A and B are shown apart, each in its own frame.
Chain A
Amino acid sequence: MPDVNCPVNQTLLALQETIESGRLSNPRSRRIAEEIRDLLMDVAGGRAGKDHLGAIASLNEELAYDQASPGAMAAAKAVRDALGGHREVFQSHIDTHNCAAGDCVRLVPAPCQMACPAGIDVPTYVNLIGQGHDAEAVEVIRRDNPFPWVCGLVCTRPCEFMCVRGRVDKPISIKFLKAFAAERALSDRHYRNPARGPAKGRRIAVVGAGPGGMTAAYYLALKGYGVTVFEALPVAGGMMMLGIPRYRLPREVIDREVAMLEDLGVEFRFNTRYGSDITLKGLNSSGFEAVFLAIGAHQSFKLNIPGEDDFPQVIEAIDLLRRVALGDRRIPGKHAIIVGGGNVAIDAARTCLRLGTEEVTLAYRRTRAEMPADMEEVEQAVDEGIHMSFLTIPKAIRGDSGRPGRLTGLECIRAKLIRKDDSDRLFPVPVEGSDFVIEADTVVSAIGQRIDLDCLRDLKGLKWSRRQTIQANAVSMETPVPGVFAGGDAVTGPATVVEAIGAGKRAAGAIDRYLSGIPQPKMPPVPVRRSRVEWMEVPAGTKMTLRRPEMPLLNLERRRTTFQQVELGYTENVAREEARRCLRCDICLRCGKCVEVCRDMMGVDALQFGFLNFDQPGPTDFRVTADRCILCGACAANCPNDAIRIIDRGDERLLSYCGTILNRQKLERCQECGAVLGPQRYLEFLQRRTQGVSPVVVDRKLCHACARRHTARVHTENSPV
């Protein structure tokens, strides 16, 4: 993401300036320059094809041939230098539809897309959903993420935190729209794989069938590589399958999307553990030319309290979730205590409840305000009847002295939060003499996961971070071992599904470069604009009054007793309406020129766009515009990206901001020839501005041509030549 200017944009501006300056005196040269300019505009606008650069070079040689015109020769030299010095940037604009410098405004990704670790083109698919094109929306998503349905149910949705609509009221419900489209497309049998590239005859091994590993496998298979995924467990999905309970992510969802990978030719080998069943040496000798390690972080941290190892009823949350995911439905105990405050703790608690545990208590050493788990998940857990015991530090496991091995409770000590001198972080410290016991027959530890280092011990040369994760280049995912790449939780530590997907996609690109002998990138990739779909027309009042819909939930009784999906999904009407709230930040770059021109140049101040400011957003109301706007078009004329437009339709003039109709007024017409004059408010504005000039025609609405004709006639009659 360099902060230099874009050579495509610079070349385009320079050529445009040359054309407008009149320095191209030869009409033929001028025509050729205009053709080059049009082709450059295609490149800058994401509409160019593979022949564009060749055509520009060829036309440029013709331009250079005009040796009589110094202007033509200078323009041709400038284009030739730009193409020669920055050809890869031009090519990148064509291939990726992206301008890394952000100068080619049509190719700048929206904040939601920039925020997505997988780089999904959010505005495009949201608007496709709004228009009813669910299968096309899924196709757009799968260009960056092969698991739209999974992510539609469990993504941590960084996109929604950056959503500009959130500065107006609430962010677009991007995650749930994705789930809606994926479910629809699958149901309609329109969820299809893209065409696979020609087979390269080269093999790649992926270790781990989690989101990161399977994403790498998907994109490598699309490129034509033969991919085999080795998985220690008997099922695919990794943490998606084993760490996320079925009431949040049904198994069928994972199975259907994994089946798409198998359909693409990806081979899965289950019950095959790296380190014992396969090794790097063995993979290399079997013809695998590169290995991607995506083994996840499946081991739990221990509580490190007395009695932890003495009772079989002390279990690790991740083991409990794995056991249940694989079909075990035995009740862990009648009264379970879950130790921890993160998402895994909440998942374990809600799972115990569904298995039939009568009382579930979550013990956390800080308060609810410090709980790292998602607030929505916490609220749902409380609704379902999970008890919360805050400021609770586990001290020891208590057992029945008369019956060895039988757990009777968790000895705890009350905590208070204090601020230490060198930090503004609140630390829990025990309150002396506040010991108490919570009775229980099961204790579940959910205080974090780490990766299994042992299985990789044989991999000489691999380096480890001080956090005990694999050290890999964050951009290229390369490890110090040639041909071995790593990504996902094994590199970042426990993270999110969508981050693992992003890492898998980056790894696929890096492995392709490695096998093709191309140098690795030095910077992380910039998300790619996939398209610029037409916006949907929405009246300003509707845009402001549409509210983010609540997700309908399964009734509480079912939630407490079954593993049925809790979030029931949007209905079609709700999903289409929700998509209409999108502000189209892929088109409006929030530069604020429209607001400045309207307020400072025209003195009208009709645009109340408080969302333009990231740090301190002000109030936004699209409805205000209709009260003040004179439909002069100054905002539209100054918008660099056609986000704001003046449209004459029938007898009306409309002001559209990315499809939101901010103002519409009746058009006045010339009383003689019928030509459009503009709305009454605009004519009055002009009249006020020209008050000092004596009116040419009184009480008549005439266009310039008719007014001139009328004035000429008056002059001829009054003062004959």
Chain B
Amino acid sequence: MTFHRGQKVEIFRISEDESWGEHMNQYVGLHGIITDPDTTKNDPDALIEVSVEGKGTHRFPQDCLRLLR
């Protein structure tokens, strides 16, 4: 999935990526908006910025995100 700014996403699972911190477990199940996708390379491995409702803006690996239709 190529993510774009403004899309609504769900953090649907814990990622196994090294960038996943323990404090991020609490975000699983929450919804948010993509605020800064990988703006250079369209890289599926890039960390992308998501503003999570009520929890602030953080960078997530893309394998833990799914689009809300």
A residues apposed to B, CB below 8 Å: 1, 3, 102, 111, 114-117, 119, 156, 158, 161-162, 301, 340-344, 366, 370, 372-375, 423-426, 446-449, 465-467, 474-475, 492-496, 499, 522-524, 526-527, 614-615
B1-17 CB contact bits vs A (8 Å, 1 = yes)?
Answer: 11001101000000000
CA distance A375 to B55 in the complex (A): 27
- Pairs of residues from A and B, 8 with the lowest C-beta to C-beta distance, nearest first: A158-B35, A342-B40, A115-B51, A448-B40, A448-B41, A372-B39, A161-B33, A342-B39
CA distance A235 to B68 in the complex (A): 44
CA distance A342 to B39 in the complex (A): 5
CA distance A156 to B59 in the complex (A): 14
CA distance A492 to B49 in the complex (A): 10
Contact B55 A114 (CB under 8 A): yes
**B window 4-60: CB within 8 A of A:** 5-6, 8, 18-19, 21, 23, 26, 31, 33-47, 49, 51, 53-59
Beyond contacts A114-B56, A158-B57, A372-B37: 6 other A-B pairs, Cβ-Cβ < 8 A, are A111-B53, A156-B35, A158-B49, A161-B35, A448-B43, A493-B47
Contact A615 B39 (CB under 8 A): no
Least CB distance from B27 to A in Å reads 9
By beta carbon, the residue of chain B nearest A465 is B18
Q: Given contacts A424-B1, A425-B2, are A372 and B55 in contact (CB under 8 A)?
A: no
Q: Given contacts A116-B57, A475-B23, are A467 and B42 in contact (CB under 8 A)?
A: no
Q: Given contacts A3-B26, A374-B5, A474-B21, are A111 and B54 in contact (CB under 8 A)?
A: yes
Contact B56 A115 (CB under 8 A): yes
16 cross-chain CB contacts under 8 A? A111-B53, A115-B35, A119-B56, A158-B57, A161-B35, A162-B33, A344-B40, A375-B5, A449-B40, A465-B18, A467-B45, A474-B19, A475-B21, A493-B47, A499-B49, A499-B57
Least CB distance from B15 to A in Å reads 13
Contacts of B2 in A (CB 8 A): 370, 425-426
CA distance A374 to B6 in the complex (A): 11
Contact A447 B40 (CB under 8 A): yes
Contacts of A523 in B (CB 8 A): 23
By beta carbon, the residue of chain A nearest B20 is A474
Least CB distance from B64 to A in Å reads 15
CA distance A466 to B45 in the complex (A): 10
Contacts of A115 in B (CB 8 A): 35, 51, 56-57
CA distance A370 to B42 in the complex (A): 8
Contact B59 A495 (CB under 8 A): yes
Q: Given contacts A102-B54, A162-B51, A342-B41, are A1 and B26 in contact (CB under 8 A)?
A: yes
